[in-house]
Chains A and B, each alone.
Chain A
Amino acid sequence: MKTPEPRPGAAQQSSSPGDERAVHGIWSGTISFSLVAIPVQLVKAVEPGRVSFRLLHDKDYSPLVRRMFCPREGALVPPEEIIRGFEIGPGKYLAVTDEELESVSPERSRTIEIVDFIDLEEVAPVYFDHPYYLIPAKGGEKAYGLLAEVMSRTSKAGLAKFVLHEREYPVLLKSTAGALALITLHYHDEILGAEDILPPEAEVDEEEKRRIKTSIKNLLADFDPRKYADARRQRIIDLLKKKAKEQGEVEAPAVAEEGGEGPADLIAALEESMRRVKQQ
C-alpha cells in the first residue's frame, strides 16, 4: 500500500477559523517556464507543534519583554543606538548598516522560474530544507493541474530560484497527491561532506551480510507517519490540562494588550519609544 500523501488544505482546515494567516498566502506570484505562466499562492505545509510558553514575572505574572543591555554602561540601549557588527577578531568588528545589507539582498520577485526539470530521486534528502504548498490562484487552476499531473506521472521535479524574506533559495517543485509542493533546498556549500564519517573498508563476512538482509526483510513495512506522535508534547498538554483543572488560570495585571499583537521586538521598540515620548 502506498502511504497517503499529505495534501494542501488539510492542515489549513485544522487550524483555528479565526486565523487569517492560515488562509492567506505567504507569497503570491507566478510559476513560469518556457511559455507557461501559472498564478499561485504559497502557503505553509507544516506547523510545528511546539507548546510555547511566555516568560512572566513570578510575583504578579506580568508578561516580560526583552530589552538590549549594555554591560559596559550598565544601561538599556534604545533600538536606534543598536548597529550590527561582524566579529573579525577578539573585540574587533566591522560595522555593517541595514542599507549595506540591503544592497546585497536579492530583489523581491513575483516569479518562480523553473530552469530545469530533474528526476526527483536525484535529490538527496539532506538537501531538503523547508516545505510549502503552492495553491492555484484564479485562472491558473487548469495549467496547475496539468503541471502537477505530468510531473507526478514522469517522476520529475522542477528546479527554480525563489526569493522569500530577503533571501534567495534554490527550490524544488514537486507533485504531491495532485497538488504542487515547494521545498526550499540547502545550498551545496551548506551540506557537510560525508567523506569523514564513512567507516574504513573492511572484509565482508558473507554470513553476516545474509543475516542483516534477513533482518531487514522481516521488518519491512509501509511508512505510516500517523504511527508517530510527539510524546513529550502530549505529556505537556496533559500536564497543562491537569493544572488548569486543579488551580485554575492565573490572571496577569491588566495591561491593555488587545490588538497589540505583533512581533515582540516591535512591541518592545514601541514601548521604549513611548517611554521616551513621555519623558520629554
Chain B
Amino acid sequence: MSRKLVEIAGKRLSLANLEKDLYPSFGFTKAQILKYYRRMAPFILPHLKDRALTCKRYPEGVAGDFFFEKRCPGHRPGWVKTAGVRQDDGELRTVCLVNDLETLIWVGNLASLELHVPLARAATPETPDFLVFDLDPGEPADILDCARVALILRDLLNNLRLTGYVKTSGQKGLHVYVPLNRPETTFEDTKTFSRAAAAIMEKNYPDLVTAKMAREPRQGRVFINWSQNDGAKTMICVYSLRAREKPYVSCPLAWGELEELAGQGDPQRLHFLSAEAVSRAEKQGDLFREVLVKQQKLPHLS
C-alpha cells in the first residue's frame, strides 16, 4: 500500500492509495477525489459544519461493496472534532463533525465518496434547520419531470411567502430545501407541513406526482418524499460526490437556470460532473448559502 504524508493547517495526515481509481469506468482516482474536496472545501464545509456525518465508504471503488459509517472511527486523529448523539436505545454514539479542511481530507481518505448529514445540528438534534422535499422520479419519469414538480413547488411556497432552494441529488432526482433556521422548529412541524404540501401537489397533479411510498403509484411519477423530514434521516450534502459510474455531484441551481435547462428538454443537462460543479461554484459562489442563514417561519401550524 502506498502512503503519502501531507500537512494541512499544521495537522499531519497519511494518505493511502492515492493512485487507486475509484470510478474505474470513468477514470477518477482517490487523488482526484481528495483534490475535488480540497477545492470544494470553502463551499461544502459550511454545510457539513456541526452536523453528525454519515459516510458512505467505497474502499474498492464505486463498483465494489460499500458500507455506511455513522460512528466516528476509533482510529481517528486526536484533532477530529466529534459529538455525542443519543440513540433511540439510549446509547451515546460518537460521530465526526467535519468542521475543517483537514477533517474533510481525512474523511475523503477513508474512501468516503458520499457525505450525508442530518437536517439538524448535532448539538440541537430535535431542531431541523430546514425542510426538504426529496423529489424522486419513478421510471419512465426522469429529472425533467422532477424539474416541473420543483418549479410548481417553488411557486406554491412563494405564495405562502416561503423561499425554497433547489439542488440536484447527484443521482436521478432533485432536492428542494426550505430554510427555517429558527430554534423553535420541530420535526413534527416540518413533517406536517411537507406532508400536507405533498398531498396538495398529488391532488392537483395526479399524473405527475405521488406522495405515497408504495412502489406502484411511483411508476412514471415523481415521488415527493416528505418523510425525509425526520431526526433519524440524513440527506446527501450539497456538493458531495455520488458513487455512480461517473463522479456526479449534488449541485445547487438557481431557479432561473432550472427553468431554462428544463425548457431545453435534455435531462443530461441536469447532471453535473465534479469538474463542472467546481467551476460553477467558483464562478457563482455558494447558491445554497441562504439555506444556512435565511430565517423563515412555516405558516398555519397551530
Are A79 and B300 interface neighbours, CB within 8 A?
A: yes
Q: A273, B90: Cβ atoms under 8 Å?
A: no
Q: Are A271 and B200 in contact (CB under 8 A)?
A: yes
B160 at interface (Cβ–Cβ under 8 A)? yes
Is A270 positioned at the interface, with any CB of B under 8 Å from its CB?
A: yes
Contact between chains at B184 and A274 (CB < 8 Å):
no
Asked whether any CB of chain A lies closer than 8 Å to the CB of B197, the reply is yes
- Select one of A107, A256, A274 contacting B156, CB under 8 A: A274
Question: Any chain A CB within 8 A of the CB of B53?
Answer: no
Given contacts A260-B196, A266-B192, A277-B155, A255 and B160 within 8 Å (CB-CB): no
Structural contact, A270 and B192, CB atoms closer than 8 A: no
Complex CA distance for A241 and B197, rounded to whole angstroms: 35
Q: Shortest CB–CB separation between residue A29 and chain B, in angstroms?
A: 10
Asked if A277 and B152 sit within 8 Å, CB to CB, the answer is yes
The CA-CA distance from A256 to B201 in the complex, in Å, is: 10
Check B211 against A79 for contact (C-beta < 8 Å). no
Chain A residues with Cβ below 8 Å from B211 are 259
Known: A78-B159, A138-B90. A269 touches B192 (CB 8 A): no
A273 and chain B: residue at smallest CB distance: B159
**CB–CB B200/A274 < 8 A:** yes
A139 sits at the interface (CB 8 A): yes
Q: Which residue of B lies closest to A102 (CB)?
A: B297
| Chain B residues within 8 Å of A263, by CB | 192, 300-302
Given contacts A266-B193, A274-B156, A277-B152, contact A258 B200 (CB under 8 A): no
If A79-B300, A139-B90, A273-B159 touch, does A259 touch B197 (CB 8 Å cutoff)?
Answer: no
Task: Please state if B198 and A269 are interface contacts (CB–CB under 8 Å).
Answer: no
Chain B interface residue count, CB cutoff 8 Å, equals: 31
Chain B's closest residue to A80 (CB) is: B161
The residues of B that contact A280 with a CB separation of less than 8 Å are: 155
| CB <8 Å contact, A276 and B159 | yes
Among the stretches B36-44, B140-148, B202-210, the one at the interface with A is B202-210
CB of B299 closer than 8 Å to a CB of A: yes
A259 to B213, CA, bound (A): 11
A269 touches B299 (CB 8 A): yes
Q: Which of B126, B161, B200, B297 has the most CB of A within 10 A?
A: B200
| A266 CA to B198 CA, complexed, in Å | 12
Chain B residues with CB under 8 A of A269: 160, 299-300
What number of A residues sit within 8 Å (CB to CB) of B?
A: 34
Known pairs A108-B184, A260-B200; A270 contacts B90 (CB<8 A): no
Is A227 at the interface (CB under 8 A from chain B)?
no
With a cutoff of 8 Å between Cβ atoms, the chain A residues found around residue B202 in the complex are 256, 259
Restricting to A220-274, which residues have a CB under 8 Å from any CB of B? Answer: 255-263, 265-274
B199 interfacial contact with A, CB 8 Å: yes
**Interface pair B159/A107, CB less than 8 Å apart:** no
Assess the B212–A256 pair: CB atoms within 8 A.
no
User: Do the beta carbons of A266 and B156 come within 8 Å of each other?
Assistant: no
* A217 is an interface residue with CB less than 8 A from chain B: no
- Tell whether, in the assembled complex, residue B183 and residue A79 are in contact, meaning their CB atoms are under 8 Å apart: no
Partner among A98, A268, A271 whose Cβ is within 8 Å of the Cβ of B297: A98
Give the complex CA separation of A20 and B192 in angstroms: 13
A80-B160, A262-B192, A277-B155 in contact; A270/B200 too (CB < 8 A)?
A: yes
Q: Does B195 sit at the interface, judged by CB under 8 A?
A: yes
Asked whether any CB of chain B lies closer than 8 Å to the CB of A166, the reply is yes
Contact partner of A270 (CB less than 8 A), chosen from B126, B160, B161, is B160
Closest chain B residue, CB of each to CB of A105 = B184
A108 to B202, CA, bound (A): 34
Structural contact, A260 and B203, CB atoms closer than 8 A: yes
A19 to chain B, nearest CB (A): 14
Report the separation of the CA atoms of residues A166 and B206 in the bound assembly, to the nearest whole angstrom: 38
Shortest C-beta distance, A57 to chain B (Å), equals 18
Q: Which residues of B contact A166 (CB under 8 A)?
A: 184
| Closest chain B residue to A277, Cβ basis | B155
Bound CA span A268–B204, Å: 14
Q: A278 with B199: in contact, given A263-B302, A266-B300 (CB under 8 Å)?
A: no
- Chain A residues, Cβ within 8 Å of B301: 263, 266
Bound Cα distance from A148 to B164, whole angstroms: 48
Interface residues of B (CB under 8 A from A): 89-90, 126, 152, 155-156, 159-161, 183-184, 192-193, 195-204, 206, 211-212, 297, 299-302
11 interchain pairs, CB-CB under 8 A: A98-B297, A257-B199, A260-B199, A262-B196, A263-B302, A266-B299, A270-B156, A270-B196, A273-B160, A277-B156, A280-B155
Give 10 closest A-B pairs by Cβ, nearest first: A260-B199, A138-B90, A262-B196, A273-B159, A266-B300, A256-B203, A265-B300, A270-B200, A277-B155, A108-B184
A sample of 6 more A-B contacts (CB under 8 A), given A80-B159, A256-B202, is: A80-B160, A257-B199, A258-B199, A266-B300, A270-B160, A277-B159
